[in-house]
Structure 1
Amino acid sequence: MNKNRYLAVGSLSIISALLLSGCSVSDLLSDKLDESTTRTAESSSEAVANGLLPNWVPDGGTNIELVQRNTGNERIFVMDYEGKLSDGQCTTLSQVGDPTDEELARAYASDPRTKDLEAEEISTTRTLDAEWWPDNAQERTTDLCGRFWVHQADGKLYAFAPDLVAQVQAIEKERAAAENSK
């Protein structure tokens, strides 16, 4: 009998918590694709060592801010950095902001997370945002560093790693559904 009482009390507690929080059962049962996590680091060497940033990121960067998609591979980050990018790990685009299919294919093939994907499977659309991220930053891309689209401006290095086309489409669909339910 005590077991049933504990189950009943536990169930009522969950329902009460949902009602008080404004969440619905469907919110608990569905995965949200459009969720992200913000992380920071003091130095680029620390961030690379901890796996927060990829290996191509040069030493000497400070004040790292990163937003990463919880359910995918998309990332945006910024760091204070005045130096140059490594020639061995980054490739300068032939035209700023407009990588060719060949440039994308070469860059994605050099990155462990995208090496087995076709360039067409990877979106060019950014779905993450942050107050420190410049408008139309992808259009300023000067280099591809693996899967990251990179540019430098005003003493900062900005990088964007896109997600799969299917993931971006699912996020856009989720956003539209949320907007329609308002």
Structure 2
Amino acid sequence: MARRPRTLAVVALGGLAALTLSACGGLSESLEERNDGHTKTYAFDTGKAGKVDEVVPSWVPDDAATVQGIFRTTGMERLLTYRGSLDGLPADCTTVSAENPLIPQPEREGFTADDFRTDATLLAAWWPDGQEKASTVMCGKWWISSDGEDVYAFTPELTRVEIEKQPTPEGK
């Protein structure tokens, strides 16, 4: 009878070791993501396709083409681009002016504009340096600009979010 508890203990320890080793694989993946600045990217052929997957914001026109984006999973910053124009933006988007300056528009309770950075910290090959400062329209928290048929959009990051090192995108 003494053998049975020992056998159960060995089986239990073996299972625990396997569980620990499998958790290390997950931990390794998390560290790899952390080294990449906790960023995720997406791409859709159209604005409509991105909305079906609930990734692309509702203000992006359905007929927007070549929609690409990057976001930080640990913060609020987003970069987005598409081929199209500003003509298809909803009526509640507002033009930047002296009366409606380009400042962060917190959508969550407890935050003010002072809680946000105003420069893009995410890196993408398709995002021109300083493009966020060229924004001429705001749709909620999004700062939007265009350059020819390229439309760019940005949401500011909180100052308290750590900006981790990101790989330099190809083409930058």
Give the TM-score normalised by structure 1. Answer: 0.69
Shift of the alpha carbon at 1:127? 1.2
Kindly indicate whether the alpha-carbon contact (under 8 Å) linking 1:33 and 1:71 is maintained by their aligned counterparts in 2: no
Tell me the alpha carbon deviations over residues 61-113 of structure 1, each in whole angstroms, 9 at most, x when there is no partner.
01111101111111101111035153622211127xxx73xx536xx26xxx3
Kindly indicate whether the alpha-carbon contact (under 8 Å) linking 1:42 and 1:64 is maintained by their aligned counterparts in 2: yes
Percent of aligned pairs with the same residue?
Answer: 26
One-letter amino acid of the structure 1 residue matched with residue 92 of structure 2: Q
- Secondary structure, counterpart of 2:87 in structure 1: coil
Shift of the alpha carbon at 1:123? 1.8
Structure 1 residues 12, 55: CA separation in 2 closer, same or farther (over 3 Å shift)? closer
- Secondary structure, counterpart of 1:41 in structure 2: strand
Structure 1 residues 13, 147: CA separation in 2 closer, same or farther (over 3 Å shift)? closer
Map 1:23-172 → 2, pairs under 5 A: 27=31, 34-86=37-89, 88-94=91-97, 100=101, 104=103, 108=105, 113-114=107-108, 117-167=111-161, 170-171=162-163
Number of residues of Structure 1 aligned to a counterpart in Structure 2: 153
User: Any gaps of 5 or more consecutive residues in structure 1?
Assistant: 176-182
Query: Which has the greater radius of gyration?
Result: 2
Structure 1 residues 159, 4: CA separation in 2 closer, same or farther (over 3 Å shift)? same
Shift of the alpha carbon at 1:11? 4.8
Q: Distance in 2 between matches of 1:12 and 1:70?
A: 26
One-letter amino acid of the structure 1 residue matched with residue 82 of structure 2: M
Instruction: Say yes or no: does 1:7 pair with 2:16.
Output: yes
Q: Distance in 2 between matches of 1:88 and 1:116?
A: 27
Structure 1 residues 115, 92: CA separation in 2 closer, same or farther (over 3 Å shift)? farther
Q: Distance in 2 between matches of 1:118 and 1:134?
A: 27
Shift of the alpha carbon at 1:8? 4.0
RMSD: 3.2
**Residue of structure 1 equivalent to 2:168:** none
Higher helix fraction: Structure 1 or Structure 2? 1
